[in-house]
Amino acid sequence: MRTGAGEMFREISRDDEITSFVNGVLSGESEDFKRRFIAALSHLSAEGWAALEQLVEDTARRKDAEKPVPPGYSSRAELEAEARAEAEDYYQEILLEKMQEAGLSASNDTDGSGGVA
């Protein structure tokens, strides 16, 4: 990144991320948990993969359910929806300010792109 343009970090694909992780674990000589876990995964049957998937989904659901809900909200989803709505309002406010700074009016921008095609 010599010019200041472009992404600061190169994005890697999910497959490359997984390959890098597994290669890193397997490059060591120790029998640490990560290595033993990958070895165990390599021996799972279709039923074992289904059971593991269910375990992960159940764990994620429990973790989501454990997230605190502030007073005045009936659920975490309600809190998150309100936060998203407020963020969208703030985004629109900033966008309008930027457009005005650029000498554009909101009526000139019908697609929300800020006048950029």
Bigger pLDDT: 19 vs 6: 19
For residue 60, give Cα distances in angstroms to 56, 63, 65, 67. Answer: 6, 5, 9, 11
Residue 53 belongs to what H/E stretch? Answer: helix 46-66
Q: What is the pLDDT of residues 100-114, one digit of tens each?
A: 998 876 555 555 555
Q: What is the pLDDT of residue 51?
A: 96
- Taking the C-alpha atoms of residue 67 and residue 88, their distance in angstroms, rounded to an integer, is 23
Measure Cα distances from 23 to 11, 40, 51 in Å: 18, 16, 26
| Residue pLDDT, tens place only, 29-87 | 778 899 999 999 999 999 999 999 999 999 988 887 777 888 998 888 899 999 999 99
Indicate the pTM of the whole model. Answer: 0.43
